[in-house]
Amino acid sequence: MLNIISQFAGKNQFCDGVSRRRMLQIGALGTFGLNLQGLLRAEQSALPHAAARSKKSVILVWMHGGPSQLDTFDMKPGAPAEYRGAFAPIATTLPGLEICELLPEHAKVMDKCTVIRSFSHGNGDHWAAAHWMLTGRLGANGSDRMPRYPSMGAVASHLLGPTQPRSLANVNINDGGFGFHGGAWLGVNTNPFRYGDFSYGNEAGQLPTGDHKSFSLVEGLSATRVIDRVSLRTQLDSLKKQIDRNRLFEQMDAVEHQALDLVLSGQVRKAFDVSEEDPALRARYGTGWGEQALLARRLIQAGVRYVSLNTGYFDDHSNIEPALKSKLPQHDKCVGVLIQDLADRGMLDDTLVVVAGEFGHTPRINGNGGRDHWPQAQSILLAGGGYRHGQIIGSTNDKAEFPTSRKVGVEDFCAIVYHAMGLKIDDSIMDLSGRPTHLVPGGVVPSELL
């Protein structure tokens, strides 16, 4: 038995030399990212929050780098040219709302949406603002980027789990938000399952990429043989407990057991295969971010509670006109077609689609033909989630520089997202010292949404 333990612990392999990671071919997926905590709670009907039994879910479309409010949802056609930019406004299905001409798919669904034009905060640091927006608290910054607080997706994973048994709770596509979609001190088992391309480094505990083809067993390994091999690992539990001092082994073990469940059940693996969709619908979504938005919808259908999707990098300090001509049409299909597709399937009321970035951009175009960081004003788009829509909340001055009515802040933003899943800002999670801490220190859902 000692020899078996030595071989297992030292080489991370089964007795015939097949590594656990390669056995599942989830090596791209399998370390640190799959959330079992919520999964096991769901299967045992012992979830810690009443909302865990609901089907409420969130798709966060994150415009990494910060979208320009004047080039999206708060156009000022009467402003001087150096403010209004290059693009013309177009009418939408929401009377009185005009948006950028590069967003025709959005224009078709704005009657199902709310635009918050008066979102504002005071932090122009990408990392600090992203951490604040995605977790509800300040902590990281450009000089010290370590996450200090669990993301909203990780909290949902921890308290609610997936909306269906044998699924994932939290999936991140393209690493939007500089890596602040993770679990921080909640543990690696609340980190998102990662998919797609990601940049700006690989935060410890995050996953490399994978797709539906990664959910396969090595040739020659049947499901029965996998289960037999897992039984060997259970013999080592006492050993692991003796040497585990920070719960890492416990969490990794949970991750690997869920990986097995995903491989054997196939529910989530199937969701990742968008080729099963109607070709006409796939054409409407388009490739790239559009196809990933289609994947997001399929993941929600397969029981995922929280999906975050990053659509590119919108920090255009120079040449913003050609940059947006390239990016916004792709983003337009991603969001506009997604909202209509969810509505057509009767899924929109249970699924909040929220589109935001860490801040807006300067109203005045700079000398390089771009816009710089501007946290004082940003437009945020909401659809679904059980909220009342077909409205504009708040306003900015004639150059979109700052709110002139109904200011909405970061904590309010987090309250909106949490409320859509049945959580309240004063719900609690335990911090590292074992003390209960509220999900967000303040904030309210705007009454216009309720």
Distance of alpha carbon 120 from alpha carbon 354, whole angstroms: 16
Closest CA to 310 of 61, 68, 130: 61
The mean pLDDT value for 276-283 works out to: 97
Close Cβ partners of 337 (under 8 Å, ≥ 6 residues apart): 105, 284, 285, 286, 290, 293
Which is higher by pLDDT, 7 or 180?
180
Contact 340, 109 (CB under 8 A): yes
Per-residue pLDDT tens over the stretch 233-249:
454 454 455 445 445 45
Q: What pLDDT, in 10s, does the model give residues 168-209?
A: 899 999 875 456 999 999 988 888 888 886 543 333 333 334
At 143 the three-state DSSP class reads coil
**DSSP code for 419:** H
pTM: 0.81
pLDDT of residue 193: 85
Give Cβ neighbours of residue 397 (< 8 Å, ≥ 6 apart). 404
- 76 close to 83: Cβ distance less than 8 angstroms: yes
pLDDT, position 14 = 31
Rounded to 5 degrees, what are φ and ψ at 218?
Answer: -55, 145
pLDDT digit string, tens, across residues 307-320: 999 998 899 999 99
| Chain segment 102-149, per-residue pLDDT in tens | 999 999 999 999 999 999 999 999 999 999 999 999 999 999 999 999
Assigned fold of 31-215+266-449: Alkaline Phosphatase, subunit A (3.40.720)
- Give the span between the Cα atoms of 416 and 443, in whole angstroms: 9
Q: What is the pLDDT of residues 83-105, one digit of tens each?
A: 999 999 999 999 999 999 999 99
The answer to whether the beta carbons of residues 426 and 136 sit under 8 Å apart is no
Mean pLDDT of 352-359: 97
pLDDT digits (tens, 9 = 90+) for 9-47: 333 333 334 343 333 333 333 333 334 344 444 333 345
Residues 385-403 pLDDT 10s: 999 999 999 999 999 999 9
| Mean pLDDT, residues 283-299 | 96
Amino acid identity for residue 337 in this structure: V
Determine the Cα–Cα distance for residues 61 and 73; give it in Å rounded to an integer: 15
Count Cα atoms within 13 angstroms, Cβ side, for 72.
29
